[in-house]
Structure 1
């Protein structure tokens, strides 16, 4: 659970949001959000609400595929600095060369041909 809470905090900070900002994004006060981020045990519905407020998705990743998923995410993070990146999201005006991870997070990792 600590890893998940750390990920929530990291994502919030990546977006440049303060705990106060979560009130407008998901309807949770700063005090409630601070408690949740530091030592909370949120319900699944609360996690989904927070993920949505942080422009994120909750996923279950099979342990045996974790390193491949992390490597793919790192590759896209590096590619974001490259204008010819193959990891463009749906908001980009350039055509995608391959599906983004948000469209198909498992692309090829599970042995399928897509």
Structure 2
């Protein structure tokens, strides 16, 4: 799974026509540090977030039931994205539990 993520970093960088040195300059990393990130080192979460910022991107968790819809959306396919407007976290805590914002409204 990590290699797939690191491949996405490389592809995004190439899409933006950036070199690894450009990424180092944008993120404050040294070129070798960014190079290791793309080559499958063991990056820390803050390094992944910093590199994502340098690529004008964000890291996020996607609920598995929304994964295919998100992939379709990224590919420009619209027929599979219909369920993305629904709240993916609805009912995550169970039927009897309300989220913090609902409790604060009372």
TM-score (norm 2): 0.69
TM-score (norm 1): 0.65
Q: Which runs of 4+ in 1 moved over 4 A?
A: none
Higher helix share: 2
Residue correspondence of structure 1 range 52-71 to structure 2 within 5 A: 52-71=53-72
Deviations 1:73-99 (A, max 9, x none): 2227x9xxxxxxxxxxxxxxxxxxxxx
Structure 2, unmatched stretches of 5+, are 79-83, 91-106
Secondary structure at the counterpart of residue 56 of structure 2: coil
Higher RCO (C-alpha under 8 Å, 6+ residues apart): 2
Shift of 1:109: 6.8
Structure 1, unmatched stretches of 5+, are 79-105
Task: Indicate the RMSD between aligned Cα atoms, in angstroms.
Answer: 2.2
Higher Rg of the two aligned structures? 2
Say how many residue pairs are matched.
84
Deviations 1:13-48 (A, max 9, x none): 111000011121001122111111102121111111
Aligned to 2:85: 107
